Amino acid sequence: MPVPWEALIPFGLLTVMFGAAGTLLNASTKGQNQGKPPRYHIDRWDEMMMKRDEQLTGHPRGQTSDPVAPPGFETRSTWYGERAP
Ligand SMILES: *[C@@H]1O[C@H](CO)[C@@H](O)[C@H](O)[C@H]1NC(C)=O
């Protein structure tokens, strides 16, 4: 009987390995983003807002409805100065 049952073993191995890798990548990405979906196409404005959120909450993806600015926040600007010519 020329049915290649032997091929099911590597097929199962490949399926399990790809599934494990994908699941671990998903869990790792979620962990880095506090359970939120990852952000794509981040521009300079988004980077500044994430830096502000990090200064207010301690994490770039952190959000709060009642922010209490830490001491020195008002003088710790997220705007970068232009380099003098
Ligand atoms: C993780 O998997 C879930 C379920 O398939 C999906 O909804 C979610 O977008 C995935 N998260 C990431 C960061 O890929």
Helix residue ranges, H only, 1-85:
8-32, 44-57
| Residue nearest ligand 1's atom 6 by CA | 26
pLDDT in tens, 44-54: 999 989 988 88
CA–chain centroid gap for 44, Å, is: 17
Going from the Cα of 38 to the center of ligand 1, the distance in angstroms, rounded, reads 9
Of the listed ranges 28-37, 47-56, 76-85, the one predicted with least confidence: 76-85
23/66: higher pLDDT: 23
Of the listed ranges 3-7, 37-41, 60-64, the one predicted with least confidence: 3-7
CB 49 within 8 A of CB 62: no
pLDDT in tens, 9-28: 899 999 999 999 999 999 99
55/18: higher pLDDT: 18
Going from the Cα of 35 to the center of ligand 1, the distance in angstroms, rounded, reads 10
38 lines ligand 1 (CB under 6 A): yes
What sign has the CA pseudo-torsion 45, 51, 56, 57?
Answer: positive
Going from the Cα of 60 to the center of ligand 1, the distance in angstroms, rounded, reads 20
pTM of the model: 0.70
In this prediction, residue 84 carries a pLDDT of: 57
30 lines ligand 1 (CB under 6 A): yes
